Amino acid sequence: MDEAYVKKLRASLKVHAHALGIAEGAAESFIDETIKSVEKTLKGKTTISQAELTRIITKELRKYHADFAYVYKNHDKII
């Protein structure tokens, strides 16, 4: 994942976490751990589809907060 994407992802996840009422410290920790794990999973891969990336991020987020993962996965499927 390039730096710009990670920055955008982090900002988007922070907004969702804040809206879900997750404490700032906990949210930072969830996001850091998720991004670290995702980067580890993607190591060596040159291309990945957005759907696959969303699936991996959701899977990682689910380990920490089920609703956080649900919102991340479904925020663009509400309407």
Partner 1 sequence: MSILVSVFILILVALIQTFMQLSPGVFALFYHYALGKKSRKKADSFSLYYVLGYELFIIATIFILCIFVFLINKAVTIDFALVYWILAGVSIAEAMAGLFFYYRKNKTTELFISRKLARSIEKQASNVKNSSDAFILGFVSGLPELIFTLPVYLTAIFTLIDFTIIPRATVLIAFIILAILPLIWIFILYHTDRHLADIARLRLKLKPFVKIVFCFCFLLLAIAIMLGNLNHG
In whole angstroms, give the CA distance from residue 42 to residue 32. Answer: 15
> Site for partner 1 (CB under 8 A): which residue of 6, 7, 19, 29?
19
- For residue 26, give Cα distances in angstroms to 23, 45, 46: 5, 29, 31
Residue 55's alpha-carbon distances to 18, 23, 24, in angstroms, are: 21, 24, 24
Out of 2, 46, 50, 78, the only residue in the binding site for partner 1 (CB under 8 A) is 78
For the CB of residue 55, give the shortest distance to partner 1 in the complex, in Å.
15
Q: Under the criterion CB under 8 A, does residue 43 sit at the interface with partner 1?
A: no
Q: Which residues bind partner 1 (CB under 8 A)?
A: 14-21, 66-67, 70-71, 74-79
